[in-house]
């Protein structure tokens, strides 16, 4: 929906340039449609922690998605039955807030948490989180959360002893999981634990298969492989006539590829490599690891720069790219081969929607990227038509949806210029590009 030339042709005053996100809302819509058609038995509950952009939350709420608990979604009128409090280790005041808000479903994975919930919220409906093999994930969680099979059985015994209600089992295969085997094994283990709970008299009717689904551009085949394996394993161990509600907590999947970050080169240094004698460069841009690039530190992400400068030279130099703060750790890329850049040049960073702005701070008082939203009116009208005439829960007539996700290599048609659906977007900013 936007292309490189759009960014190159911007001509703001040199001293008024700040980073910004180009947010492709069509990409978010298409991800939701693909989820519902790829895994129709699995209801998505968006993991708000991944990206808490209020307008993305509003869009997903409109499309009928559920949410992994956050107070922000309740402020939008999302009902408590669409929310799961999926943190296994919670602050007591948060449990109390969930109770006051009517959020009944929450996870646990240890006896101390079980006893804490018993004391604060004895009527809660509990979901037991089990450990998984997340060794192939970008971010691993099993070292911190999840009960092994033996511990899970003991926790069910304890819940029965103290008269707490367990309604199901959950797991998380790690954020950015790229293999289907982790999901297959976890679903099989969940069936074993649910059978044990049923044997003890619990009404086990909820399976939460967590998050971890890939969402970057170019990972579509991985998602197809995972969704096919999930469907097959669910049909085998949780057949449709078994009255089991199945949900998931995708975050990265929905937003990663929808966000592209545009940054500006604010300073540079030319140096001589002491070992080779060759020229090398240090570039400083107006966003860094304290801001949108915190994903470099906390999400193990290696962002790839797309240079938007109109530089005809193809000669490349060893370069490093740094953030704007005073901290020497504020480095985005220590060594990369790129053409020479000038102060004022733009750099575009794709796949920047997951675990970026939700964890950013304004260290040194330096702002991070502000979102600017893109969607064609024709696309939005087609989405509204589809979701108004077809039951939202699973089946959607995708033939009425015009698939035109962000591809920065394509030219932009007149009707694809920035446009905001005003009936649900709050405080949206449209960038006018000459």
Digit-coded pLDDT (tens) for 256-313 = 999 999 999 999 999 998 888 889 999 999 998 888 898 888 878 889 999 886 666 6
| pTM for the full predicted model | 0.82
Mean pLDDT on 417-430 = 42
Mean pLDDT on 103-122 = 96
The answer to whether the beta carbons of residues 315 and 340 sit under 8 Å apart is: yes
CATH topology of domain 1-26+257-434: Lyase, Ornithine Decarboxylase; Chain A, domain 1 (2.40.37)
Element (H, E) at 43: strand 42-47
Where does 87-248 sit in CATH, by number? 3.20.20.10
Digit-coded pLDDT (tens) for 72-85 = 566 666 778 878 88
Percentage, residues of the chain above pLDDT 70: 78
* Catalytic-residue membership of 408: no
The catalytic residue among 295, 326, 406, 408 is: 326
* Residue-by-residue DSSP string for 215-243: -STT-HHHHHHHHHHHHHHHHHHS-GGG-
What distance in Å separates the CA atoms of residue 421 and residue 167, rounded to the nearest whole number?
39
Domains of the chain by residue range: 1-26+257-434, 87-248
* Residue-by-residue DSSP string for 180-220: SHHHHHHHHHHHHHHHHHHHTT----EEE-------STT-H
Digit-coded pLDDT (tens) for 124-147 = 999 999 998 766 656 766 777 889
The answer to whether the beta carbons of residues 373 and 420 sit under 8 Å apart is: yes
What distance in Å separates the CA atoms of residue 422 and residue 426, rounded to the nearest whole number?
8
- What confidence score (pLDDT) does residue 414 get? 36
Digit-coded pLDDT (tens) for 366-411 = 777 888 888 888 888 887 777 764 434 433 333 433 333 333 333 3
Cβ neighbors of 6 (< 8 A, separation 6 or more) are 412, 433
Digit-coded pLDDT (tens) for 165-220 = 999 999 998 766 678 888 999 999 999 999 999 999 999 999 999 988 999 999 99
DSSP label at residue 80: G
- What confidence score (pLDDT) does residue 54 get? 86
């Amino acid at each position: 929906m936007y292309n490189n030339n759009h960014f190159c042709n911007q001509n703001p005053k040199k001293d008024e340039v700040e980073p910004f996100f180009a947010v492709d809302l069509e990409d978010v819509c298409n991800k939701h449609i693909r989820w519902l058609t790829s895994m129709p038995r699995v209801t998505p509950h968006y993991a708000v922690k991944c990206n808490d952009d209020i307008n993305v939350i509003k869009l997903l709420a409109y499309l009928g998605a559920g949410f992994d608990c956050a107070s922000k979604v309740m402020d939008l009128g999302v009902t408590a039955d669409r929310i799961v409090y999926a943190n296994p280790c919670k602050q007591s005041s948060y449990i109390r807030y969930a109770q006051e808000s009517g959020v009944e479903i929450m996870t646990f994975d240890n006896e101390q948490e079980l006893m804490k919930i018993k004391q604060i919220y004895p009527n809660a409906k509990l979901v037991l989180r089990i450990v998984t093999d997340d060794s192939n994930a970008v971010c691993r969680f099993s070292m911190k959360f999840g009960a092994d099979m033996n511990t899970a059985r003991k926790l069910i015994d304890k819940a029965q002893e103290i008269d707490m209600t367990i309604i199901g089992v959950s797991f998380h295969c790690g954020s950015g999981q790229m293999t289907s085997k982790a999901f297959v094994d976890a679903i099989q283990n969940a069936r074993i634990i649910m059978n044990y709970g049923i044997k003890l008299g619990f009404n086990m009717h909820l399976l939460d298969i967590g998050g971890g689904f890939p969402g970057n551009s170019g990972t579509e085949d991985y998602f197809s492989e995972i969704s096919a394996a999930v469907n097959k394993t669910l049909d085998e161990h949780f057949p449709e006539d078994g009255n089991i509600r199945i949900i998931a907590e995708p975050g990265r999947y929905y937003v990663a590829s929808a966000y592209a970050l545009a940054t500006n080169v604010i300073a540079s240094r030319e140096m001589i490599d002491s070992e080779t004698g060759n020229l090398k460069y240090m570039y400083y841009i107006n966003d860094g690891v304290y801001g949108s690039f915190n994903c470099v530190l906390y999400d193990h992400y290696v962002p790839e720069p797309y240079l938007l400068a109109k530089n005809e030279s193809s000669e490349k130099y060893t370069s490093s790219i740094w953030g704007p703060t005073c901290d020497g750790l504020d480095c985005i890329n220590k060594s990369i081969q790129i053409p020479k850049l000038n102060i004022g040049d733009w750099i575009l960073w794709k796949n920047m929607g997951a675990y970026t702005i939700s964890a950013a701070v304004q260290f040194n008082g330096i702002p991070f990227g502000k979102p600017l939203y893109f969607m064609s009116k024709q696309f939005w009208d087609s989405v509204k038509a589809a979701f108004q005439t077809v039951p939202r829960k699973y089946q959607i007539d995708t033939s009425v949806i015009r698939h035109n996700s962000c591809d920065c290599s394509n030219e932009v048609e007149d009707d694809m210029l920035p446009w905001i659906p005003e009936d649900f977007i709050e405080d949206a900013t449209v960038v006018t590009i000459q």
